[in-house]
Amino acid sequence: MSTAVVWNLACRHHYAGAGHPERPQRFEAVLEALRRPELAGHVRWVEAPAATRAAIERVHPAEYIDMLEGLAARSDGGGGGDALDADTFLGPRSWESVLASAGVALAAVEQGMEQGRAFGITRPPGHHALAERAMGFCFLNNVVLAARHAQALGCARVLIVDWDVHHGNGTQALVERDPSVRFVSMHQHPWYPGTGAADERGVGNVFNIPRPGGLPRAIYARDFLAGVDAALTSWSPDILLISAGFDSLAGDPLGEFTLEPEDITQWTHSLRERMGTRPVVGVLEGGYRLDLLAAGVVAHVAALS
């Protein structure tokens, strides 16, 4: 069976400045990789609309959205853009990309619920975004928006797993008091953003797996699935959402993990086995060396199929 790959061309428009690792070429590299002829039987393309304000307000307060819209209007009017933190810049047409990225995450949930599996090419990424703060290249928290959308559509219990090399601090902060969502994150520690210690448990729904860089890849592969199994103990989710960050692959400039695309394949198969017939949906997070990003996405989507 094919996997729904959800996209919106406006995700290419966000530009954070010369030399910034979160660059439009990431989006292009993923599109090019998934359009290879050998993947034609694995991919079914679905174009997503931009997210509505109502959907965004399930996660982010109106005042924060107003602030971003105001900055976007000033930037589009020739104001030159605004830095929201040291590495998160809202430039001309960035807000268009942010809304498109969130819309991709929402549509990926819908496709996953209909077809069993989906992958969303979400750019800019989202797992560092807090309710009222952009950070770490992220403006809106795509995977939490996806979780709340899934719940609105009838999936009461949501499991989010995050294999990005950086801790999904925004995701954790947004769900750690909600027992209807469980969050598993394996990430390099200590590393940006400095959160994600093993003793950060929320209401018993947070399962952090902090690991140093440079370990043998088999350790990361084993420990991630052990964390997932811990989250699934005596608890059965209705949908699985994956914050799929490919900066965890060996050679990425922003991480020091040693994983290979084959590990992504193994994880994806293992997660599908654990979920049975329940939906599995991936959304793109990090990944900053284009060839590795492309290889990781292809491995994930092929394994979903």
In which element (H, E) is residue 223 found?
helix 217-232
Catalytic residue among 128, 149, 166, 167: 128
Cα 80 to Cα 223: distance, rounded to the nearest angstrom = 45
Return all residues near 302 (Cβ < 8 A) that are at least 6 apart: 39, 42, 265
Q: What does each C-alpha distance from 142 to 18, 24, 241, 280 come to in angstroms?
A: 25, 18, 11, 15
Q: State how far Cα 47 lies from the chain centre.
A: 18
Cα 151 to Cα 147: distance, rounded to the nearest angstrom = 6
Cα 129 to Cα 169: distance, rounded to the nearest angstrom = 8
Q: Is 128 a catalytic residue?
A: yes
Cis, bond preceding 279 (omega within 30 deg of 0): no
DSSP alpha helices (H): ranges in 75-215? 94-115, 142-152, 169-175
Catalytic positions = 128
